[in-house]
Amino acid sequence: MADEFTEITTQGWGSRVKNAFGGIIFGIILTVGSFPLLFLNEGRAVKRHQSLQEGAGLVQSVAADRIDPAHEGRLVHVTGTAEARKGEPLTDPDFGVVAPGGLKLRRKVEMYQWTEEQRRETRNKTGGGTETVTTYNYAKRWSPELEKSANFHHPGGHQNPTSMPFPSDLRTAESIALGAFTLPDFFVAQINDFQPLDGVKADTLPEALRGKVKPIENGFYVGADPAAPAVGDVRVSFSAVPAGLVSVVAQQSGETFVKYRTAAGGEIELLQMGTRSAAEMFASAEQANKVLTWALRLAGFIAMAIGLSLVAQPLRVMADVLPLAGRVVGMGIGFFAFLVAGIGSTITIAVAWISYRPIIGIPVLVLTLGFFIWLVARLRKARPAAAPSLDPASPAPPPLT
C-alpha cells in the first residue's frame, strides 16, 4: 500500500471572501495586542537591566563550605559542587536502574510508530476560487509521544498501538547540597546537564521484565530485533545529572537561598553550570536580557504585520478574480503591512522609552515621525500628473514661444 496520498479540494470565490471578512476580527486582535506586547516588553527589559545593575554592585562572593550569619539577607555569589545529600541513590522503579550519586535520573521511552505529515499547496484560479493540493505522507519513526493513528486522515494500514507500555519518568534527589547550603527548588529545576547513563545492565531488571527486554546502549529494547524495528517496538534510554560544579547568585536565607528582590522591582536568581565569577554571571544575564528583548520586539512586529495583512485580506481576495491582479494587490498589502508595522512598532517602543528611558525615547520618536512625514510627502509627489482636459470649452494651452 502506498504511504503517500494526494487530495485536491476547491474553494469558491464567495466562500473565500466570507472567510477573509471573518479573519478581520482576528487581525484586529493581533494588531491591537501587539502594542501592549511591545510596550510592556520595554518596561520588562528596563526593570531587568536596572535589577542586574543593582545586583552587580551589591553581590558578595562567599565560601560554600560554611554559612556565615553576617551575610544573612544579602545577595551572595557561591561556587561549589552540587551533590545529593546522604541517602538512598536514585532508582528507576520499573527497571531497577540506579544512578549512584546522581542529582536527577531520567527515563526516556520511545515507540516505533506510524507518523503523518501534511503538505499543502494552494493555487489561485481564474474567477477568484482556489485549488488546494494536500499530500499526506506516512512513515515509521521513533517518537516519545503516542501517535494516535485513529486521527490520521488515512488510518488504513497505518495502525499504531493505543498506549505506551511504559511512561517516561524523571526522578530528582530529595535534597541537593551546595557545600553547606541546600539548593531551593527553583535552582534544582535549572540543573539539567543530563548525560547518558553508562553501565545499564539486565541484572537490575525485576523478575517480571527479565526475558522480555533486551539490553542496549544506555537502556533496554522491547521487541524482536533492535536492528529491524517493527511498529510497537519500544526503546528505553536512561540519562542522569551527575554531581558537578555550579555557581549561583541569590539572597542568603538561613541554610538556603531565596530570590533577591531589587529596588527596581525585579528578582535575581542566577545559576550556571561550572565555576563562574559573579561578573561573568551578571554579564551572561545581561546578554540573555538583550536577546529576549529583541525576540519579543520581533514577535510584536510580526504580530502587527500579520494582523494588518488579515485586516486588508478581503481586498486581495476580491482582486483574485484575476490571479495577476490578486498577486499585485497581495504584494501591495504585504508592503503596506510591513511598512506600517515597522513604523507602528518603532513608535510604540519609542513611547515606551519616553516612560522608561526619556533620553533615548524622545529622539527615536522624533526621528520616526520625521521619517513618516517624509515618506508621505514622497508618495504624494510620486502621484502621476493629471491628464489634460479634452473639454472643448476649456481654455487652450498657451502657445509655445
Q: Please give the residue that has the higher pLDDT: either 194 or 394.
A: 194
CA atoms within 13 A on the CB side of 367: 8
pLDDT value at residue 389: 46
Predicted confidence (pLDDT) at residue 100 exceeds the cutoff of 70: yes
Q: How confident is the model at residue 365 (pLDDT cuts 50, 70, 90)?
A: low
- 200, three cell numbers: 545499564
Predicted confidence (pLDDT) at residue 361 exceeds the cutoff of 70: no
Angstrom distance (rounded) from CA 307 to CA 172? 44
**Cβ count within 10 A of residue 148:** 12
Environment class of 82 (CB within 10 Å of its CB; exposed 0-12, middle 13-18, buried 19+): buried
Predicted confidence (pLDDT) at residue 236 exceeds the cutoff of 90: yes
The closest of 113, 129, 130, 112 to 121, measured between CA atoms, is 130
- Residues 166-176: pLDDT tens digits? 999 999 999 99
Q: How confident is the model at residue 369 (pLDDT cuts 50, 70, 90)?
A: low
- Residues 312-339: pLDDT tens digits? 999 888 888 887 888 888 899 999 899 8
Predicted confidence (pLDDT) at residue 2 exceeds the cutoff of 60: no
In sequence order, the 6+-apart residues with CB closer than 8 A to the CB of 193 are 241, 244, 273
pLDDT value at residue 347: 85
What percentage of residues in the chain have a pLDDT greater than 70?
91
Rg (C-alpha) for the chain, rounded Å, is 32
- Residues 20-41: pLDDT tens digits? 888 999 999 999 999 999 999 9
Residue spans per domain, the chain: 9-52+288-381, 59-276
* pTM of the entire predicted model: 0.82
pLDDT value at residue 1: 46
pLDDT value at residue 387: 43
Q: How confident is the model at residue 226 (pLDDT cuts 50, 70, 90)?
A: very high
Predicted confidence (pLDDT) at residue 367 exceeds the cutoff of 90: no
pLDDT value at residue 327: 83
Environment class of 401 (CB within 10 Å of its CB; exposed 0-12, middle 13-18, buried 19+): exposed
pLDDT value at residue 17: 86
Instruction: Tell how far CA 79 is from the center of its chain.
Output: 30
For the ranges 112-126, 204-218, 345-359, the lowest mean pLDDT is seen at 345-359
pLDDT value at residue 298: 97
To which residue does cell 533496554 refer? Answer: 220
- Residues 9-18: pLDDT tens digits? 988 888 888 8
pLDDT value at residue 400: 44
pLDDT value at residue 14: 85
Q: What is the mean pLDDT of the chain?
A: 89
Task: State mean pLDDT over 121-141.
Answer: 90
